[in-house]
Amino acid sequence: MTDAIETVFETVATTAADVRGALAERRAYADAENPSGEQQLAADVYADELLEERLLALDGVGSYASEERDGVVEADDAGQYHVACDPLDGSSNLQSNNGMGTIVGVFDESLPAPGSALVASGFVLYGPITTMLVARGGTVTEYLLDGEERSVLTEDVAIPDDPVVYGFGGRIPDWTDQFRSYVDDIEADRLKLRYGGAMVADVNQVITYGGIFGYPMLEERPEGKLRLQFEGHPIAHVIETAGGASSNGTQSLLDCDPDGLHERTPVFVGSESLVDRLESALS
């Protein structure tokens, strides 16, 4: 892969150390909302500012966008790649000291970009240890991040075929009848419920054990909660590169092209068998 992409993930890895180190002092809510109308934590703003400054300074990066800011920020100099971030995914978990993450998508088209323009993707998981998964060139690599150090933990990460865990967001009474019957169906397969309120942490369980994660369409909110460009696209790219599948309920998230930068979408990612059953159940 080109050095420019390697440099993006080197920068994300070193920035993750600074983000993790800053969390304890930034648990309070800032007096601002993000473009999706959600309250911002001081940690959201801090992570976003660090990533914007450091990624835009890279030669290969032409622009930066994130869930935390309205528009796309252009670099001073043109660059081949355009980076979309969720700087602190699951930040509502900070007050309860549960897992959170940073999600990164690298596109070779200007933002908002179609899923087909993703050339690399990845996420950092702030768990008991800090890890980073990177999908590029048809393979997923898991790294251990320890301060400024980055070492390979697992090469060619592959999602297990036999599903074990499942987790879906939203309130059950708000689910559609079709989706609820799908969940009843897979619960009969004796899967274990794992839902922790941070997509990156829940998705990492799915990649590790096999299963499915989703934030579904809701009766009153058919588009669901998660953002296509900042969450759906990069996580789908990681999962599909690891041999899994993704869907918005009818097609791969990588075949979905956002009209707007902050467009929301139902998100389902995981073992191919469970995603296929979902699309059948919703058809």
The reply to whether 9 sits near ligand FBP by the rule CB under 6 A is no
CA distance 130 to 16: 8
Among 198, 235, 238, 239, which residue interacts with ligand FBP (rule: CB under 6 A)? 198
The reply to whether 52 sits near ligand FBP by the rule CB under 6 A is no
The reply to whether 125 sits near ligand FBP by the rule CB under 6 A is no
Q: Which long-range contacts (CB under 8 A, 24 or more apart) does 275-278 make?
A: 275/212, 275/244, 275/245, 275/246, 275/247, 276/245, 277/182, 277/185, 277/186, 278/182, 278/212, 278/214, 278/247, 278/249
CB-CB contact of 90 with 101 (8 Å): yes
Residues 91-110 that bind ligand FBP (CB under 6 A): 91-92
Q: Edge-to-edge strands of the sheet including 149-154?
A: 73-74, 61-66, 81-89, 100-107, 118-126, 130-136, 139-146, 149-154
The reply to whether 145 sits near ligand FBP by the rule CB under 6 A is no
Among 174, 197, 223, 281, which residue interacts with ligand FBP (rule: CB under 6 A)? 197
Q: Which residue is nearest to ligand FBP (CB)?
A: 199
Among 52, 67, 142, 240, which residue interacts with ligand FBP (rule: CB under 6 A)? 67
Q: Which long-range contacts (CB under 8 A, 24 or more apart) does 68-72 make?
A: 68/34, 68/35, 68/40, 68/44, 69/34, 69/35, 70/35, 71/261, 72/110, 72/111, 72/261
Residue with tokens 């296509």: 228
Our CB check for ligand FBP shows the closer of 150 and 225 to be: 225
Give the shortest CB-9-to-ligand FBP separation in angstroms: 20
| Region binding ligand FBP by CB under 6 A among candidate stretches 11-19, 86-94, 155-163, 251-259 | 86-94
The reply to whether 142 sits near ligand FBP by the rule CB under 6 A is no
Give the shortest CB-164-to-ligand FBP separation in angstroms: 19
| Count of residues near ligand FBP by CB under 6 A | 13
The reply to whether 269 sits near ligand FBP by the rule CB under 6 A is no
The reply to whether 74 sits near ligand FBP by the rule CB under 6 A is no
Among 8, 62, 75, 86, which residue interacts with ligand FBP (rule: CB under 6 A)? 86
Show the CA angle centred on residue 42, arms to residues 268 and 204, nearest 5°: 30
Give the shortest CB-121-to-ligand FBP separation in angstroms: 16
Which residues are at the interface with ligand FBP (CB under 6 A)?
38, 67, 86, 89-92, 169, 197-199, 215, 225
